[in-house]
Amino acid sequence: MKELELGDGGEPRQQTTSRDRTMTTAQGGPIADDQNSLKAGARGPVLLEDHVMREKIFHFDHERIPERVVHARGYGVHGHFELTKAIPELSCADIFQREGEKTPTFTRFSTVAGNKGSFDLARDVRGFATKFYTQEGNWDLVGNNIPVFFIQDAIKFPDLVHSVKEAPDRGFPQAQSAHDNFWDFISLSPEAVHMTMWQMSDRAIPRSFRFMEGFGVHTFRLVNADGQSHYVKFHWKPRQGLQSVVWNEAVKINGADPDFHRRDMWDAIDAGDFPQWDLGIQVFDDDFADSFEFDILDATKIIPEEQVPVQIIGTLTLDANVDNFFAETEQVAFCTQNIVRGIDHTNDPLLQGRNFSYLDTQTKRLGGPNFTHIPINAPKCPIHHFQQDGHMAMMNPKGRANYEPNSWGEDGGPRENPQLGFTSYPEQVEGRKQRTRSETFADHYSQARQFWISQTPVEQRHIAAGYTFELSKCQHEKIRLRMLSHLMNVHDDLAHAVAKGLGVTDMPKPAKPAREPITDLPPSDALSILKN
Ligand code: HEM
């Protein structure tokens, strides 16, 4: 390797005589001069034939891919999941069979609303998505750090996201983090009130990714080898504990270091201080589902841990930073439809819509149907199928047959396997086609109230301050009053604290609930950070 030299024009040139270190074009051709384009004469025009310059600039021009339509800002980390309690009686999923076995994982944490270049400490929900590379295929648990969601039906998702992201006329939300459009949408969608309680709480400004819980949110099914099914909710419990910052700190940190959360994760892992989460399951049957006060298919509701305790079955350890942020964090594709034998979906209409949305958007974001060929998305178990061709295809079927059934015996490629293959839980379904929402989804305030009364006085003050700050950014009084009319159904103390903060003296009438709330639900210890 030669030392730094100066070229003819005085520019620094790093030259080598070693073949291994010789810079090449993408076609592998050695490059002699990477500083100067090919010109007709020293001061002449650049020649179109300069394949070195054209290839370099062409590739640069195409470096960006569409950012995720939501959760654009994220940070990915490798790790492994170790099973500490086998659950064959509940699920035949291979990952849940052998205690002590480790399964490789990739986890991406994210904010939801901000663009890729936004700041880490926005008041926002955090994504917590984990891909488990199991021996029977990839299982993606695509969750959040809040156990409920804004809406009950996926058909409302585009509107929710439009209301929170840039306004179409001006290209930015109307205020820094609170705005008329968002609160207009929320105040017209009372199902979102419970989620906004969590969003205004300290949970939405976590100290770092390492101090957050994670939730699968939806009710899923576990299915055992005999075909018996139980319902399940998935929980991630941080071994580091739960911690948040206060709003003042969040604002200052965003100004001083917008990369605060990703830097924290990088530094911790770099220093060998590997964060860990226990995977917990809440398991219940049809009898519980039928007797529970709310519908287990409604993603705006939790199941209190006092009613169905969380059993810990394993531990996630995050122990390696990425080598290549783009190849791994940017190109990873989590998808709720990626489930494995022994885990199944339920009829939650939000989940069913997500199953369509992720694959659809990733086909566009990652340039076609072959994004499972990208190493971060590829399963780490054998794969055999007859899918072929398409943009960027890397692995077409080998041998004579690319179809089945075929009569080529051993040469005929992969075959179905009824014993090992995925079978959907044969749930009985019937009904008239209709667009109505089930009446069992109609109670929007009871659990919001339960959340409020579960909080310590300090946490309650923060929630009230959160609503006050956000609603104070709404220019339209009717939106502020409409939100207050919902908060009056949650709790008088909350509604009056926010009204006082906003300077509202004439309280609006409480919103008319679609179903009368249950006012005597007991507090749940698990809902407060400070009691944990
Ligand atoms: C991305 C969670 C609801 C559409 C994500 C990500 C997470 C997540 C964690 C980021 C994944 C990553 O790190 O790459 C959730 C949760 C939901 C929910 C917990 C509700 C319980 C929905 C709904 C839809 C949707 C209802 C659409 C109908 C999307 C899309 C992306 C995304 C399109 C971007 C995916 C990509 O480009 O790779 N979601 N989401 N989500 N979500 Fe959701």
CB contact set of 218 (below 8 Å; sequence gap of 6+): 233, 299, 346, 348, 350, 351
**What per-residue confidence (pLDDT) applies to 3?**
57
Per DSSP, 354 falls in state: H
User: pLDDT truncated to tens, each residue of the chain (532 aa)?
Assistant: 555 677 767 777 788 999 889 999 999 999 999 999 999 999 999 999 999 999 999 999 999 999 999 999 999 999 999 999 999 999 999 999 999 999 999 999 999 999 999 999 999 999 999 999 999 999 999 999 999 999 999 999 999 999 999 888 888 876 554 579 999 999 999 999 999 999 999 999 999 999 999 999 999 999 999 999 999 999 999 999 999 999 999 999 999 999 999 999 999 999 999 999 999 999 999 999 999 999 999 999 999 999 999 999 999 999 999 999 999 999 999 999 999 999 999 999 999 999 999 999 999 999 999 999 999 999 999 999 999 999 999 988 888 899 999 999 988 999 999 999 999 999 999 999 999 999 999 999 999 999 999 999 999 999 999 999 999 999 899 999 999 999 999 999 999 999 999 999 999 999 999 999 999 999 999 999 998 7
Nearest CA to ligand 1 atom 18: 354
Model ipTM? 0.95
Nearest CA to ligand 1 atom 16: 143
Three-state SS sequence of 120-147:
CCCCCCEEEEEEEEECCEEEEEEEECCC
Which one of 36, 80, 138, 144 is the catalytic residue? Answer: 144
List, chain by chain if needed, residues with CB within 6 Å of any ligand 1 atom. Answer: 68-71, 74, 108, 110, 127, 129, 142-144, 149, 154, 157, 217, 299, 332-334, 350, 353-354, 357-358, 361-362, 365
In degrees, to the nearest 5, what angle opens at C-alpha 292 toward C-alphas 289 and 293?
140
Cα(408) to centroid(ligand 1), Å: 43
d(CA 467, CA 199): 9
**What per-residue confidence (pLDDT) applies to 74?**
98
Cα(71) to centroid(ligand 1), Å: 7
**What per-residue confidence (pLDDT) applies to 173?**
75
**What per-residue confidence (pLDDT) applies to 397?**
84
What residue has token string 């592998």?
28
**What per-residue confidence (pLDDT) applies to 179?**
78
d(CA 264, CA 262): 5
The distance in angstroms from the start CA to the end CA of the chain is 58
Nearest CA to ligand 1 atom 19: 143
d(CA 108, CA 314): 19
Nearest CA to ligand 1 atom 23: 354
Cα(368) to centroid(ligand 1), Å: 19
- Long-range CB pairs of 479-486, under 8 A, 24+ apart, other chains included: 479/180, 479/183, 479/184, 479/187, 480/183, 480/504, 481/508, 482/187, 482/188, 482/508, 482/511, 483/183, 483/186, 483/187, 484/508, 485/187, 485/509, 485/510, 485/511, 486/187, 486/190, 486/193, 486/445, 486/511
Per DSSP, 319 falls in state: E
| Residue 71 Cα: closest atom of ligand 1 | 10
Nearest CA to ligand 1 atom 7: 127
Q: Best substitution site from 142, 301, 331 to test ligand 1's pocket, by max atoms within 8 Å of Cβ?
A: 142
Q: Best substitution site from 354, 362, 365 to test ligand 1's pocket, by max atoms within 8 Å of Cβ?
A: 354
**Hey, what's the torsion of the CAs at 39, 42, 45, 49, to 10 degrees?**
-10
β-partners of residue 5 are: 13
Cα(521) to centroid(ligand 1), Å: 31
| Residue 360 Cα: closest atom of ligand 1 | 33
β-bridge pairing 276-284 and 229-238 = antiparallel
**What per-residue confidence (pLDDT) applies to 2?**
58
Which one of 36, 51, 62, 71 is the catalytic residue? Answer: 71
Q: How many CA atoms lie within 13 A of 487 on its CB side?
A: 28
Nearest CA to ligand 1 atom 32: 70
Cα(155) to centroid(ligand 1), Å: 14
Cα(56) to centroid(ligand 1), Å: 35
Cα(336) to centroid(ligand 1), Å: 9
d(CA 83, CA 95): 8
**Which of 449, 143, 452 minimizes the C-alpha distance to 293?**
449
β-partners of residue 314 are: 83, 279
pTM recorded for the entire structure: 0.96
Query: Is 144 an active-site residue?
Result: yes
Task: Answer yes or no: are the C-beta atoms of 109 and 151 closer than 8 Å.
Answer: no
